[in-house]
A and B are shown apart, each in its own frame.
Chain A
C-alpha cells in the first residue's frame, strides 16, 4: 500500500502532507505525556517489529500479495499516539533508505497508514472493547478485527487521494471497488497476525499492553 511518486498530483500530495504533519504533531504532543523510561524502548521495539513484519508479503489471491501494516498492532501495544508515531518512523525509514514509498508521497502514506489506519483502526478497537466482555480472548479478537478493518480504512484513504489528485485517468469508482476488495482480503492476514502477536504479548507480559482492559479474574473456591 506504499504509494510511489507519480500516482497522486503534487498539490494533492502537499495537502495530505500538511494534514499528516498535523496528525504527527498532535500525536507527539499527546505521546509526550505518556513516554517514560519503560515506554521509550518498548515503542522502539514495536517499530523494529513492524518494520520487519512489513517485509513479509503474503499471497492473497493469484498474482497479488499483501503485508502487515501494523497500525492497530502498534496502537494496541503502546497506545494510539505512540502507535501513530511508530508507523511514521517505519514509513520514513522505508521511504528514505529502502526506496519503498515515494518521497513526495510520504505525506500520503503517513496519512493513510499512520493517521487513518492507526488512529481510525484504534477507534474501531475501542468500540469493539466497549461491547465485548473484558476477557483476554475478547481483547485479542477486538485487536484482530479492528486491524483487518484498518487496512480497508487505509486503502480508502488512497481512494480519497486518487479522487482528488489521481494521475493515469482510472475511474474513481472502479479504483474504489478494486482497492476495497483486495484490501479486505489483505485485512484478513493483518487481523490474524495482529491477533497472534497481541495474544502472545498478553500471554507473556499483559502489563506491557498499554490498551488492554483489566480482565476479570475468575476466583475459584
Chain B
C-alpha cells in the first residue's frame, strides 16, 4: 500500500475517532424522526425493549462510567473499533471470495 493512501486512511480514522469520541458528546438527545412520528401518531407504545439492552454498550453509554461525556466517548471509540474489525473481516473475506471465483472462471 502506498504511503499517501496510508496517510489518507490515518487522517480519516482520526476524524472518525474525533466525531465518535468528542462531537458525539454534543449530540441532541431529542427523539429522532421516527420516534417523533411514533409519539405523535400514538404507536410508540408498540416498541419492545431491546433484547440486548443489558449489553455494556447499550444506548451508546459505557456501563459503569458515571461521567456522561466520558461514557459516550468510550462507547463511540469502541464502536469505531468494532466497526473497523467487522468490516475488515467482511470486506477482506469478500475480496478473497472474489479472487477465488475469478480464478475458477479463468480456469
Contact = CB atoms under 8 A, between A and B. Distances in A.
Co-assembled chains A and B: yes
Interface of A: 1-7, 28, 31-45, 47-49, 51-53, 55-60, 63-67, 82, 85-86, 89-90, 92-94, 96-100, 102-103, 155, 158, 166-171, 174-175, 178-179, 182-183, 185-186, 204-205, 208
Contacts of B58: 98-99
B17 to A, nearest CB: 7
A182 B36 contact: yes
Interface in B8-37: 8-9, 12-13, 15-17, 19-20, 23-24, 26-34, 36-37
Contact of A55 (B19, B37, B86, B90): B19
Contact of B43 (A65, A89, A155, A169): A169
Chain B interface residue number, banded: 35 or more
8 contacts: A31-B98, A49-B19, A85-B90, A89-B90, A97-B55, A98-B55, A98-B59, A186-B33
B74 interface: no
Interface of A is mostly: helix
Residue of B32, B42, B59 with most chain A CB atoms under a 10 A cut-off: B32
B28 A99 contact: no
A174 B43 CA distance: 12
Residue of B12, B38, B53 with most chain A CB atoms under a 10 A cut-off: B12
A167 B46 CA distance: 6
A56 B19 CA distance: 8
A148 B51 CA distance: 32
Contacts of A155: 33-34
Contacts of B94: 28, 31-32, 35, 85
B9 A45 contact: yes
Given A93-B82, A97-B55, A168-B45, A45 B28 contact: no
B8 A204 contact: yes
Contact of A93 (B17, B47, B86, B98): B86
A99 B75 CA distance: 12
Residue of B31, B50, B88 with most chain A CB atoms under a 10 A cut-off: B50
Contacts of A31: 91, 94, 98
Given A32-B98, A92-B86, A169-B42, A63 B80 contact: no
Nearest to A96: B52
A185 B32 CA distance: 12
Nearest to B12: A45
A67 B32 CA distance: 8
Contact of B82 (A40, A97, A204): A97
Interface string B70-90: 001001100110111011101
A100 B50 CA distance: 8
Contacts of B66: none
Nearest to A101: B50
A116 to B, nearest CB: 14
A98 B57 contact: yes
Contacts of B86: 47, 89, 92-93
Given A86-B87, A182-B36, 16 more contacts: A1-B33, A28-B94, A32-B94, A48-B80, A52-B24, A56-B23, A58-B28, A65-B31, A94-B79, A97-B79, A98-B75, A100-B60, A102-B48, A102-B50, A178-B40, A183-B33
